[in-house]
Amino acid sequence: SFPEHIQVLRQLFSTFRQHNIRINLKKSKFFRKSLEFLGYTFTPFGIETSKDKIEAISKYPVPKNAKEIRRFLGFINYYARFTKGISEHAAVLNELIKKGIKFKWTDKHQSAFDKTKQLFIKRLELSHPDFTKPFYLHTDASAFAVGAELFQKDEGGRIRVISFASRVLKPIEITYSVTEREMIAIIWSIKKFFTYLAGSKFFIMSDHKALSFLQQSKPTNARITRWQLYLQSFDYEIIYCKGSDNVVADALSRTVDDNTHNPNENAIYHIRSIDLAKISKKFHLIKKLPILQLQDPELKLIFDSINDPKLSNEFRIIGGILFKITLQGLRIMIPNEYVDTLICLIHVYYAHIGVNKLKHLISQQFYFRKMRKKIKYLLESCHSCQINKISNKHNLAPLKAIETQFPGELVSIDFYGPLPASSSNFKHILVIIDNHTKFVKLYPIVNNTTAAAIRCMNQYLKVSNPKRVLCDNGSQFTSAKWKEYLDQQNIKLTIIPIRHPQQNIAERVNRDLGNYFRSLVIDRHNKWANFLEHIEHIINNTIHSTTGVEPNIAHFGLQVQRVWDAFLPNVGAPMVLNTDLAKRIGDRIQKIRSQKNKTSNEKRTQIDFIVGELVLVVNLRVSKKSEKVTAKMLPLKDGPYEINEVLGSNTYALCYIGQPDLKRGTFHSNLLSKYIKPRHVILQSKPEW
């Protein structure tokens, strides 16, 4: 009962205090009805197998072809001796792997598949580890995932399963070599089952033969060296086993549902490493040139007429290969059918070099008509080049300022921070600026939340009456709470496109804040809040370059007193804004904008996209030290995605290809570029080598 539990805790804590034992509160759990401990779940009803032990099985994806059904049934049948009665339920699935039967997945098969998994999980006898006996760790890696099975053998040599595990490979791990992926399976599974394997003798069983020599071989790179050093702290031995004997780990390493990846995973656009050794084998078609040339109608005609004086001055046959006589020397004639293949093979092998370098390289030994035109046509559709190379074409839309006619028509809002906590624990500033008059309000806040923005907005409404608010894509400004608040105040909300802060003039105020703080705060960084009111006063009462007057005058029509006015004779009332001055401010803003736009737009071009068009998005690259990933080597662009909706002259809503309900976000055209579908299979991101 609850009172009994409290009493037990009191006794436990009292004992801890007597022996000076401390516990980590963050890692402690109290008043729980179940507890995970040493691979089991303890409940009021007894001891159960932990869910994570069988999670790899419960999440086994639905087979999509006969091969995947064979893999699943092989996995199930491997443990048939421990899971009585399952074979009858799996019989329905066996129908789909019979010779001559067309694969067609129906509700009947889905029901049989689900029932087989449920019975397998329910009846599988997972054993408790015996630390007096060695452990066996079966591992395997596929192109997308790794799987593992931990078991022991009893006195009769029968397998006693302890746990299963599997996980999806990270994007960077997918690019590793086969050996490295197999090593990941070993390292990850050892860490997964560390509590069993640490201090115990165990055998690693893998169907990758190269790993059986791991302890004797010299590491080929720093990554494998690091893994070998990690393994030195364990008492293990790697045993090679045939793939047919590694049924379980192999199946678990392939329990990756394609839909769990990026929605574009099933398209041709997934980034994949290129195996240069496999590519080089493709150049063997050069050996077949004599045959391939004869199969080309145009070249065969030249072969048959080579003795013609007109042709003998242009062509020559050497070793059964037709050559073109050029000013630079003899060049091999390439059959028209294989021109594209040759261009793409050389392009990929030479690390996606550009048109000029590729043309120079090809023209040294080969010849075909319209070489530069064909090379350019193919290379502009190369997926890798489109996402990885810096383009010489600057896709910048013409500048277009947001026009306003009167104070309060539009205000821009943004957060500034985090900053060192002030004496009042303020860590951020909410910046609000009127787009027409440049009048600024600065509010110190503890946290940059929606609730804080609403509180500040309530204060701002006491000094101004905005009709529209411009915000960035921060979660504070896209929340339902923020939208509901603005609706109640009859204020319209405008969200700027992702990663396009130029439209929010509050960003300029943020830059100025940095200048003011560096000048005023000096080394008293936690005193910044003390200067905030003074900075706001400076901004609002010094001339703005766009309006030509102080923001305070433009907004309220009244000039405040200067600090030195108290020492001067009174010469009249403060300056009041008149109608002529308001008109002059509007005219000046228009003139300044026109001048800036004319200068800035000289090298800018309006590029319009249409609904359904494929585009790439500038990639937000971030280094990850823990994963050995540097931003400099990540793709420059991401995609492709589909234009789902045109929201304005330069703003577009994107979705995943063919999935209009799966949104990618709203982007400014400056971050987008047109995507050209690869015009050859070799130029796809996932070449079929």
pLDDT value, residue 442: 94
Return the structure tokens found at 61.
Answer: 């994806």
Please work out, in degrees rounded to the nearest 5, the angle formed at the alpha carbon of residue 347 by the alpha carbons of 341 and 352.
Answer: 145
Return the structure tokens found at 464.
Answer: 């101004």
The verdict on residue 16 lying in a domain is no
Token match 């449920």: residue?
A: 118
Domain boundary among 245, 267, 302: 245
Range of the domain at 417: 410-596
642 plus 535 within the same structural domain: no
438 plus 559 within the same structural domain: yes
Domain boundary among 562, 596, 630: 596
Return the structure tokens found at 141.
Answer: 């890696």
Secondary structure in 3-state letters for 313-355 = CCEEEECCEEEEEECCEEEEECCHHHHHHHHHHHHHHCCCCCH
**What is the rounded distance in angstroms from the CA atom of residue 8 to the CA atom of residue 482?**
47
- For helices 66-78 and 107-123, the axis angle rounded to 10 degrees is 20
531 plus 423 within the same structural domain: yes
> What letter does residue 184 receive in the DSSP assignment?
H
- C-alpha gyration radius of the chain: 35
Would you tell me how many other CB atoms lie within 10 Å of the CB of residue 651? Answer: 19
pLDDT value, residue 272: 38
Return the structure tokens found at 86.
Answer: 């399952």
pLDDT value, residue 282: 65
pLDDT value, residue 102: 80
pLDDT value, residue 223: 80
Residue type, 172: I
- In the three-class reduction of DSSP (H, G, I as helix; E, B as strand; rest coil), residue 444 is classed as strand
670 plus 526 within the same structural domain: no
- Sign of torsion over alpha carbons 669, 453, 528, 509: positive
Would you tell me how many other CB atoms lie within 10 Å of the CB of residue 28? Answer: 7
Helices (H) and strands (E) in the chain, counts: 25, 22
Query: Does residue 628 come out as left (phi exceeding 0), alpha (psi in the -120 to 50 range) or beta?
Result: left
415 plus 515 within the same structural domain: yes
574 plus 426 within the same structural domain: yes
pLDDT value, residue 270: 33
- In the three-class reduction of DSSP (H, G, I as helix; E, B as strand; rest coil), residue 638 is classed as strand
**What is the rounded distance in angstroms from the CA atom of residue 217 to the CA atom of residue 212?**
9
The verdict on residue 538 lying in a domain is yes
pLDDT value, residue 263: 36
The verdict on residue 481 lying in a domain is yes
535 plus 650 within the same structural domain: no
541 plus 657 within the same structural domain: no
The verdict on residue 37 lying in a domain is no
538 plus 662 within the same structural domain: no
Please work out, in degrees rounded to the nearest 5, the angle formed at the alpha carbon of residue 144 by the alpha carbons of 142 and 149.
Answer: 55
pLDDT value, residue 275: 47
What torsion do the CA atoms of 108, 114, 119, 125 make, to the nearest 10 degrees?
140
Cβ pair 149, 114 in contact under 8 A:
no
pLDDT value, residue 124: 61
The verdict on residue 590 lying in a domain is yes
- In the three-class reduction of DSSP (H, G, I as helix; E, B as strand; rest coil), residue 402 is classed as coil
Token match 């436990």: residue?
A: 12
Instruction: Give the domain CATH number at 467.
Output: 3.30.420.10
Give the chain's length. 689
User: Residue 612: how many CA atoms within 13 Å on its side-chain side?
Assistant: 0
Residue type, 150: L
Domain boundary among 225, 245, 265: 245
Instruction: Give the domain CATH number at 622.
Output: 2.30.30
Taking 50 as the pLDDT cut, the residues of the chain under it are 47, 80-82, 247-249, 256-276, 686-689
Domain count, the chain: 3
**What is the rounded distance in angstroms from the CA atom of residue 209 to the CA atom of residue 178?**
11
B/e letters for 260-289, b = 16+ CB within 10 Å, e = fewer, are eeebbeebbbbbbebeeeebeebeeebeeb
Cα 471 to Cα 159, 493, 632, distances in angstroms: 62, 8, 30
pLDDT value, residue 615: 92
**What is the rounded distance in angstroms from the CA atom of residue 211 to the CA atom of residue 247?**
18
**What is the rounded distance in angstroms from the CA atom of residue 433 to the CA atom of residue 453?**
14
DSSP string of 102-161? PP---HHHHHHHHHHHHHHHHH--PPPP-TTS-EEEEEEE-SSEEEEEEEEE-TTS-EEE
Q: Which of 375, 342, 345, 341 is nearest to 357 (CA)?
A: 375
The verdict on residue 26 lying in a domain is no
What's the pLDDT tens digit per position in 510-566?
888 888 888 788 778 888 999 899 899 888 888 887 777 888 888 887 777 776 666
- Sign of torsion over alpha carbons 621, 624, 627, 631: positive
Cβ pair 117, 75 in contact under 8 A:
no
Looking at 463-565, which runs of residues are DSSP E strands?
Answer: 468-471, 492-495
619 plus 535 within the same structural domain: no
619 plus 516 within the same structural domain: no
pTM for the structure as a whole: 0.43
Would you tell me how many other CB atoms lie within 10 Å of the CB of residue 618? Answer: 18
pLDDT value, residue 453: 94
**What is the rounded distance in angstroms from the CA atom of residue 291 to the CA atom of residue 572?**
102
pLDDT value, residue 641: 92
Would you tell me how many other CB atoms lie within 10 Å of the CB of residue 143? Answer: 12
632 plus 585 within the same structural domain: no
Residue 460's contacts (CB-CB under 8 Å, 6 or more residues apart) are 411, 432, 441, 443, 466
